[in-house]
Amino acid sequence: MLPVRLRDFIEDADGWLYAVSAYDNDDRIACVLRYVPEPDGERVNPFGRRYTKYDFDEAYALIARKKPQYAGLLHRIPHGDVKRVLKPELEIGRIAAAHPRVEKLVRLFSLPVGTVGCTGSLLCELSNGSSDIDMVVYGKHWFTAQALVRQGIRDGKVEGLSDAMWRKVYEKRKPEIAFDEFVLHEQRKWNRGQIEGTYFDILYTRSYGGIGSVPSGQGTVLGKMTIEAKVKDASHAFDNPAVYEVDHESVSRVLAFTHTYSGQALAGETIEACGVCEQQGNERWLIVGTTREAHGEYIISRTLLEQ
């Protein structure tokens, strides 16, 4: 049995579908509810079963009301309650065969079997005409895919985001930074684009061999803090959480639990980060994304903005 990992989906005994949201799933699986079978649901799977898609706040409210035993910072599902695990890398062939745009992205990446997949509504067979494509690329192969997205946009094989799409992404994310600053940071990440008008992104997930070293667990909260520090290591800046090892007098790591601030800075750059400081053993970490939309929290690259 392969371990359950970030960006997999699981199904419980009632047919509820959850997005796996962390790597530490040995005891219970850390996830967020996404789809619930309901007679009047707007999403329909190939077998005619209807589902409702729940946003973040609605999902937490439903879990608190109907399945409080799963409630927490993330929903925690015992392995014994899991009926099925959906793995992006194992289902990619089925998805690509049914969705020509996904097939074109798979051909663009041309990565080894098992290193690329597709998650979200396509994985769950609940997509509709407005669904985005959430590609997943594992471990070091993500950086190859990133370079291919960049080259693909330059060669016209895929499209970059229009001004209108950038505005849509900004309004969806609701970041604590100005629109121009947001786009400046995002444009150099090369982790999103459009293919035949459909939005896609490439999501980083660790290979199975790298799961064990992921930071997890809440530390002792010390309070709100804003720091300026030089990034020493950004090799996991696109992970969830995004991890920035920093050179600072009291903080050793900045962790971002929101996709908005993944890949926000490169090694060697100076960042300004505002979040909640936690004591983690003999280290102090600054956590960005302590709420869903990270109100009042941010990461910016001072180096990028000053260039």
Which tokens belong to 144? 């190859």
State whether 65 and 135 are in the same domain.
no
Mean pLDDT of 162-176: 91
What distance in Å separates the CA atoms of residue 54 and residue 31, rounded to the nearest whole number? 13
Let me know if residue 54 belongs to a domain.
yes
Q: Examine the pLDDT at 135 and tell me if it is beyond 70.
A: yes
Tell me, what's the pLDDT at 126?
A: 97
**Largest interatomic CA distance in the chain:** 58
What distance in Å separates the CA atoms of residue 132 and residue 77, rounded to the nearest whole number? 27
Contact between 240 and 261 (Cβ < 8 Å) = no
Tell me, what's the pLDDT at 290?
A: 81
Residue 223: beta bridge partners?
277
Let me know if residue 3 belongs to a domain.
no
Report the CATH number at residue 117: 3.30.460
State whether 123 and 157 are in the same domain.
yes
Number of domains forming the structure of the chain: 3
Tell me, what's the pLDDT at 146?
A: 97
Q: pLDDT for 51-88, tens place per residue?
A: 999 999 999 999 999 999 999 989 999 999 999 999 99
Let me know if residue 283 belongs to a domain.
yes
Mean pLDDT of 292-304: 91
State whether 72 and 142 are in the same domain.
no
pLDDT category of residue 244 using cuts at 50, 70 and 90: very high
State whether 79 and 94 are in the same domain.
no
Q: Is the dihedral angle over the CA atoms 110, 113, 115, 118 positive or is it negative? A: positive
The DSSP element (H or E) to which 92 belongs, if any, is helix 88-98
Mean pLDDT of 98-109: 96
What distance in Å separates the CA atoms of residue 281 and residue 216, rounded to the nearest whole number? 12
State whether 226 and 302 are in the same domain.
yes
The DSSP element (H or E) to which 74 belongs, if any, is none
Q: Is the pTM of this model over 0.75?
A: yes
Tell me, what's the pLDDT at 216?
A: 62
Mean pLDDT of 244-259: 95
pLDDT category of residue 110 using cuts at 50, 70 and 90: very high
Domain range for 26? 9-86
Tell me, what's the pLDDT at 127?
A: 95
Let me know if residue 100 belongs to a domain.
yes
Let me know if residue 213 belongs to a domain.
no
Tell me, what's the pLDDT at 215?
A: 63
What distance in Å separates the CA atoms of residue 197 and residue 34, rounded to the nearest whole number? 25
State whether 234 and 196 are in the same domain.
no
Residue 33: beta bridge partners?
18
> Quick one: what percent of the chain has pLDDT higher than 70?
98
pLDDT category of residue 247 using cuts at 50, 70 and 90: very high
State whether 201 and 243 are in the same domain.
no
pLDDT category of residue 214 using cuts at 50, 70 and 90: low
State whether 171 and 112 are in the same domain.
yes
CB atoms < 10 A from the CB of 93, how many? 13
Q: What are phi and psi of 253, to 5 degrees?
A: -140, 145
State whether 28 and 118 are in the same domain.
no
**Which range among 74-88, 220-234, 280-294 shows the weakest confidence by mean pLDDT?**
280-294
State whether 17 and 58 are in the same domain.
yes
Let me know if residue 4 belongs to a domain.
no
State whether 157 and 107 are in the same domain.
yes
